[in-house]
Structures are given as structure tokens and as C-alpha cells.
Structure 1
């Protein structure tokens, strides 16, 4: 039997089981250094004493900072959704994230609902900051095996995100929706050729072609409807979900969300004169769902959430039906919603392949940083940003970033899990791009609208400096756990807890007034700090 101590499918080590004189089974991990016990560092190739990593971080330049403390997810907002990289896809991440800041956010939350949400940030920042959780798992886990797994491609639904479609545009929109369906079906046929293996070259070719086709169709739909923001729905993901086969666990009551029938795809074409009214009612439905989800985070035992939501939806659906001629039948049947248990299971919110107790961060430091080379311009509201890459194995390492270190020795970063000196905390340092193309809040691959500055802090041509976000997360992890390789990152199944798959995501929901405070602070030489309440 082959097993792997976290992380990395490529880091498999053989196990020899012998019987000691007492008759008890003793497990030895065989590595290049010979037979050693499971706690020996020589077998843990994904872990490295931080003292053995040479300093590799340039000395910091004088830089102004604006610090926001949004807490450490003390209220327990966890989700396997990724609203930046996989918008509209439930459990799109296939691993659990810590969320701080915005409390309403899910894979489906509209910008309007985000702007109305509550927040854990004391200064009123409604932005969403989220990253994969770290777990401690003291068991020896079987290595993920692709076997006969057929990879599949999932894409965000465009139908469920459209505004009301005028009758004169319905045929054109439907043609482009059919293009999206056909291109996805063709891509899944092509990707099936890599059954039982991860083929980075094929993945890039198939996803690249699909992305181009979707971008063209979505651009045409956006042009017809005059709708911004649909570019977030372009990109798709390759999933190796077959690696999850056979997982079973008890459902958890934590982090419930509401599940409501889709309304947008049930609407007929509407008259030009009523489009605005219909869209206002659709936006109201989105806000009602977001409000209910936020309430379930704050008061999970509240038994009135569903009845209140149904009453609000019924009134909105009535107004919606009244606005459309001829009046559509059956919308009233869409008022009732249910509580949907999350995919993470059991009291530890485990997912297939992502097991163990979640470690709550000891501290989370969120900094907006100035540009040493000049002034910064305000981030646009609802800007999407990410750093790192959750899939360096299946997509290649181009966008992956070393992020691991220890407190007290932050002059070095590693792409392995650090073993820290006594008294030092395990840290993850996530730097986001600090340059913006000046026009887009998102892009087809969720990256092209942003860029990193060069070593001279200069942005690429056509980009301008914005507040550069850094998130530093610290954990108290017992040194014995570190030495035995018993802590690791949640990940996609094919990454098998690869520390190089670390990543972080952000949606800017700062108000214009708050963003002005940030840029003024960074451009006038002051250090600004606002504390959090939780």
C-alpha cells in the first residue's frame, strides 16, 4: 500500500509494517535516509525547517500602510465556494475557506447584495477576504489516486445571472447561450482524453480554447443587454472530483445557507418599457437571499429566517409578475426556500481529502500599502483580485507564489510548510498585485486586469498603481505537530495539500468614501490603523 503524509501526490513514501515483540504494529516510513519513524523529518519532503531556508525577501522599502483588522473568523464563516475564481458554482473550490469581512458573500451573491451586507471589519469595510483553511490531522492518509477518474469541466451559469431580456433581444441572447452550451460539451469531450492522469498541456489547450469561445459569446450578450460584470463568468475549471468517490460523513449544521428556486431563467421576454422595473425586483430578490444567509451566519438557530424570506419573496414575485405583460403564471410557486446544508461534513467541516481540525488563525493582518515610486489611485468598487494559484499541478506553476514563513524570520519565504523555531508562529504572507489597467473590475481569467509592479515598483505600461493589498495570517501550531508533518492546507484533490497551491482572494466592497481615506493615507505619508471588534 502506498500512502502519503501530507502534502503532495508526488511525495509518496512507502510504508513497511512490522510486528514488534509485543505484537503491536509499528509503521515505518521509508525514505532516502532509510527506515525512520513517522515523526522523522527526513521523510517529510513537504516540510522544511525555516532556519534552512536562505533569506530571499528583499529588504523592505519605506512604504505607507493603511491597516484594517477584520478579525480572525471568530464567527465561523466557512465555505467551499470561491466567488472570485468560480462565481456561481456551489462548492467550486472543493476545499474550505476562511472568510473575514463581508458576511453575506456566497458563490452567487450580487454586487448590490455585497454592498448591503454586514461585516466583521470595525471600520465598516464590507470587502471580502478569504483563503484556504489550515488543518491539523494526526492520521496517516491514503494518497489520492486518479485511477480511472475522468476529469470534467465546470463553468459558471450565465442564464442564472442575466437581467431581464427584452423581447426584441431574446432570440440573439438564446443563440449565444446555445454557443456556451455547445462549447462546454465539446470541451468535456476533449478533456476526457486525459482519463486517469493530469495533463497540464491538454488542460491549458482545452481551457484556453473554451475561454476564448465563452469570452466571445459573453461579450456579445453583454453588448446586447448593456450589462457589465458578465466577464466574471468566462473562466472555467477542470475538476478531478472522481478522486472523491467513496467519501461518506455525517452532515453538519454549521454554516447553513438558503437555497431558493431560480427566477431569472423562468421569466419570459419583457417589454423595453418594463425592463428597469423587472431588474429592480430581481435585484431585490438577490438582496433578500444575501440578508437571509447573513442572518444564518449570525444566528444559525433562528427559526424565522425561512418564513421571513418567503414573505419577502412572495411580495417581490407578485410585483415582478405584475410588471410583465402578459402576466407570467407560476412565479408565486418560487417564493419558498429551504435551508441547504453545506457540503463540508461533520463537526470539523471536512470534505473528501480535506480532513482534520481547522486551525483558527491567531492573527490576521490586512494591510493596504502605498507605492514607494509614487502615488496610488483608488481601487474601483467591486474589484476582484487573487494571488497565488490553487492548481499549480494541473495548470502549471506560473502564477503560484511562495507564501510560507515563520514569525521573527519573515526575511524568507518558502513553497514548503515551515517548521518554526520554538515560540515562533507559522505564517502565510499573501501579496496581491498593486497595478490596475484602469478600466476593468475583473477579466476572463480573473488576473489580466491586474499586474504586479517590477523591482523598481513601476507598473507595466497601461497600468496604474493602486493600494497593494497584503494579508498576513499567523497560527499557533504545536512544534511537535510541525515536526511530524501533521498540519496542512485544504486543497483541490489533485493538489493533495501541496503547500505551493496556497492562494488568497479579495473583492473590494469599500465605499468610495472609505477608499478615499485609504488613498489619502497612503499618498500623504501617514500610517493609519483601524482596529476590529472581532
Structure 2
């Protein structure tokens, strides 16, 4: 496993011995591995070198002193602990438009409808698990307990022989109605996006294993060029009288995928259902439409938004009705009515265009939708916009195995700024903290996040072993500074920034906003901790790297609520 700057021996005897010596010397435990477990190896799923008794971590958390002009308040939100079981391999912030883009499972709280393809309007219309009506989405990778013994070195061996691929967000079905006068030009720009993705894919495909420098070079060049083309698409549509596409900058960033590693790991799994909440997948409509006459643009756009809203409502219903009815419940109560509603909207689109131009034929064939995932073995993705879905013995992608641990508590806090007052964060702001891919994209954005309850003065980038009676915790601090203009950026990071660790001041050009902190607590049996049997879901190349922990957020608080949060913080109060 690649883990920050540490280097582990490849031989299982070296790894086991080193772990035993390290922990025994601390007077904590003596390690005895039981071999076999069906794999004929005594190597655990995760190396014990990835675990550390929290008492051995030096206190390292420094809190800036609040100045007289600072904001010392605290606003807490109760969004539950994912009691609805909204699990998804989507990452709507870091991989918008890429279905199953995370290649691991996330816990979601707050917004009930969110998927990788949700629009801002869909999010705003959603229900929520938050008691105060906050429709924001908060999500993080699940933690699992896996008591089996398996060959952890298999991941490194498989990774060394795997060529990465490039996966980019889908753009065609995220656009508004394209004016007829702009259709040919937009088609050429979309084709250029395809060409750029293929060219980047060829560059990384020639490599084997992880090459951080190559990945960074290829992805940065691709991001810059995609951003320029996406901006051009918006200009082209707007110049022809159409509505400028929203959120195009969110689709600029692509990623490298090492999904091919799965074929070399666990080739078969026992049949099972899926732990992830099923989502509705419908045929794309926007990319099937001809150029739309100028007179029909507004009407077609309204109907396209209706189609989005219908899918979002169906996805929310899948979460809130989970476990209800018999085998035909979803077909009769969700998919059937959805098809009827989509049929009516598609007919309205055809009529709107047909009034002033040739009526588009065959739109009715796009009405039917299905569920994804549907069960059964994972299959290769037909395109980069849909990576393989979770499956397997324990209902996950290969190598992310074991039962999911539900959080015992999730504490969501908005906090003030030590150096000054905060302004309300803008609605639909996207933010993330940590980095899911420190191995393949470099560790610059990764953050230590692990600790134990009662040890808030220290964070570690290893899995903590906690004293008896203490909970394992993940503490995710989000950036508390904003550029004052953008709700997202090409890399999903540069529109926000972290305050200075010593003074709390924001960088030049940034203003302080309520700083989000999410603390997730788990009741994990102590013997599981001591044996290194709990771990984070991760991308395949990270192999459960604790340093790949991360958290994502979309602000869907009402403007009045966010103003109330800012006022609370600025007045130094504790509010809910």
C-alpha cells in the first residue's frame, strides 16, 4: 500500500513482525494472526502499521485565539446518522455527472434526492433528514468491519500491472435546450471534449501502476482545456438566444480511474443484493433533441426541468419508502407513475418544437426508466460516465468488504472565525475536505482526521486504537474562507480556502464564512481495533488508506437560515 511517506515491507512476515513489535513495545497487546480464512495467507486486510494507539499521538491541534473582532459562536444541526440507509457510490461534488464515480460507498445525511446528476433546483425541492429543514447534503465514505483474513499484498500486485483510464463528467445531458442556430457549433464543441478525453486517456493508458507526476500533468492540462471549451459552449448558447448553462465549471475536472484493478482481485462473489440505495436511471433527453427554435426555448427548458424534478422526486421516494410493499412495489408505485409523467412532458416538448419546426420523432421511447443497481455481478461500464456499481458478498465493490458500521453519532457544526466576523455562505456552495486519492493525485490536499472521543487535542492520519469506553472518531474541518464570487471551481477547491492555522485569518481576497465541522463517532469493538479489522471504504488504488479520508458538502440552507447561522456566530452564541 502507498501511504503518505511511509514504506512498508512487501513480505508478510516483515509486516506482521513490525506491527507486533511496535504495539507490544507500547505495552498494548500481543498480536497473533490466524492464517487461512479461505485465502491461504496470514496477511491481514489492512496492515497493523496503519493503526496507532491514540495515547501515542502527540497533541497537535492548535486553535487560534479569538480576537476581540472575531466570531466565537457555534451553530449545530441534527441531520441524524443515515437512519434511512442512503448509501451511494456517487460523489456529486468531486465527480458530478459521473455515476458511481467514487468507486466506494458514501453515507449521506441531509438532502434525500441528491445523486451525481442532481441540479440545484432538484436539491432545493428535496426533502431532508435535518430537523431544522436544512436541505444541504453532507456525505463521507463508510467505515466497515471485516474480520476475514486475506492477501493485502494482492492490491499492490494488481495495481502494478493496471493501466489507468480517464473519466470525465458527462456534459451532453447537463445542457439547457440548444438553440437551432447554435446546434452545429455546440456539437463541434462537444466533440472536442470527447477528443480531449480520448487523448488524455491514451497518455495515461501507456503507463502501469501509479505515476503521480504523469496523472497531475495530464489532468491539469485536460482540466484547463475542458474549462475553456465549456465556457465556449455557454457563450455559444447564450449568443444564439438560449439560456447560459449553469454550473459548467463543475464539469471541468476529470479523474484517473484504476478500476481495472478489480479484475485482478476478487473475480467472483456470492450472489447478493446491494447495500446502496437504488436510484432511477432514465434515458437522456437533452442530447436527443434537435436544435430548438428560438420561440420554443423557454417552454422546452421548463419541461426539461420538469423531467429532472420527476427523477429527483422518484429518487427521494426510493429512500423514504425503502422496505415497503412487495416485489412489485417499486414498479407500481414509482417507476410506473414516473413513466406516465415523463410521457406527458415529452409530448409537451414535441408539441412546443413542432409548432414552429419539424416535430421531433420518437421522444416517447425515452419515457421508461429503470433502477440502478439492479443486483447481480458488476459489469464493465459502457462509458466513463458510469463506472461499475457496488456488488459482492458484502454488497460492495471488490476489496471494500465487510459490514458497514453505522455512526453512533454525527455532529454537524458551523463555527465562527477567530480573526473576524463571518458572512453567510452562498446557497449551492460546494466544498470538500481531505482527498480521496492521495496515492494517485498526490497528498497535498489530504488531511489527518482520525482521533478518539476525549482526545480532541490530537488528530492522526492512521486508524486510532482507542482506550476502552472511547469511540473512534473522524473530525472533518472544511475550508472557512470563500472567494466572494463562486460556488464551485474547476478543481472544486480554489473557490474556498482554509484560514491560517495560527491566526485564523483568511487569505487575501477571501472572506470568512461559517466554517463547517463534521465529527463522526463510531462504537467499534476494542478487539476489532486491536486486530486492525476496521477500515475506510476507498478507491481501489488507496487500499483503505486512512489518509484518504474525506468529506463533501453542498449548501442548500435557505438564505434566511444561513443568515441566522452567521448572526449566531458573530454574536458568540451557541445555537441550534
Class of the TM-score when normalised by the shorter of the 2 chains: over 0.9
By how many angstroms is 1:13 displaced? 5.3
1:318-467 aligned at under 5 Å gives the runs 318-324=347-353, 325-341=357-373, 343-345=389-391, 348-454=394-500, 455-467=502-514
Q: Aligned partners of 2:52, 2:393: CA distance in 1, in Å?
A: 31
Q: 1:451 to 1:59 in 2, by over 3 A?
A: closer
Q: Secondary structure at the match of 2:16?
A: strand
Aligned partners of 2:3 and 2:472: how far apart in 1? Answer: 16
Distance 2:508 2:499 in 1: 11
After superposition, the Cα gap between the structure-2 partners of 1:397 and 1:30, relative to the gap in structure 1 and judged at 3 Å, is: same
TM, length-normalised to structure 1:
0.92
Equivalent residues of 2:74, 2:415 under 8 A apart:
yes
Say which is worse superposed, 35-44 or 342-351, in terms of deviation. Answer: 35-44
SS at match of 1:203: helix
Q: Does the CA-based 8 Å contact 2:113-2:123 persist in structure 1? A: yes
Structure 2 unmatched ranges of 5 or more:
22-29, 35-42, 67-71, 238-243, 375-388
The one of 159, 165, 177 aligned to 1:164: 177
Aligned equivalent of 2:241: none
Task: Give 1:215 deviation, angstroms.
Answer: 0.7
1:346 is displaced (CA, Å) by: 5.1
Equivalent residue of 2:11, what SS?
Answer: strand
Corresponding position of 2:311: 289
From 53, 59, 62, the equivalent of 1:55 is 59
Aligned to 1:312: 341
Structure 1 residues 5 and 525 mapped into 2: Cα distance closer, same or farther (>3 Å)? closer
The CA deviation at 1:349 is 2.7
Structure 1 pair 526/36, CA: closer, same or farther in 2 (3 Å)? closer
Q: SS where residue 214 of structure 1 aligns?
A: helix
Whole-angstrom distance in 2 between the partners of 1:13 and 1:504: 31
Distance in 1 of aligned mates of 2:529 and 2:4: 13
- Per-residue CA deviation, residues 214-247 of structure 1 (Å, 9 max, x unaligned), is 0110111122232221111000010111111154
Contact kept in structure 2, 1:152 and 1:191, CA below 8 Å: yes
Match of 2:299 in 1: 277
Indicate how the Cα distance of structure 1 residues 497 and 453 shifts in structure 2: closer, same or farther if over 3 A, else same. same
State the number of aligned residues.
Answer: 515
* Residue 43 (structure 1) shift: 6.4
Contact 1:97 1:130 in 2 (8 A): yes
Give structure 1 stretches of 5+ with no counterpart: 17-26, 530-534
CA contact (8 A) 1:6 1:497 kept: no
User: Which of the numbers 33, 39, 43 marks the counterpart of 1:38?
Assistant: 33
Superposed, which structure 2 residues align to 1:168-207 within 5 Å? 168-195=181-208, 197-207=209-219
Alpha-carbon separation, structure 2, partners of 1:492 and 1:61: 38
The answer on whether the counterparts of 1:7 and 1:498 sit within 8 Å (CA) in structure 2 is: no
User: For residues 6 and 346 of structure 1, what CA distance do their matches in structure 2 show?
Assistant: 26
Q: Which residue among 210, 219, 225 is the counterpart of 1:213?
A: 225
Match of residue 261 from structure 1 = 283
- 1:6, 1:458 → 2: CA distance? 31
1:153 to 2:169 alignment: no
Secondary structure of residue in 2 paired with 1:212: helix
Shift in CA distance, 8/117, structure 1 to aligned 2, threshold 3 Å: farther
Please give the alpha-carbon distance, in whole angstroms, between the structure 2 residues aligned to 1:159 and 1:123. 36
Is 1:13–1:30's contact at 8 Å kept on the other side of the alignment?
no
In the TM superposition, residue 375 of structure 1 has moved relative to its aligned partner by: 1.3
Query: What is the deviation of 1:459?
Result: 1.1
Alignment check: 8 A CA contact 2:481 2:513 kept: yes
SS at match of 2:206: helix
Provide the residue aligned with 1:243 in structure 2: 261
Name the structure 2 match of 1:21.
none
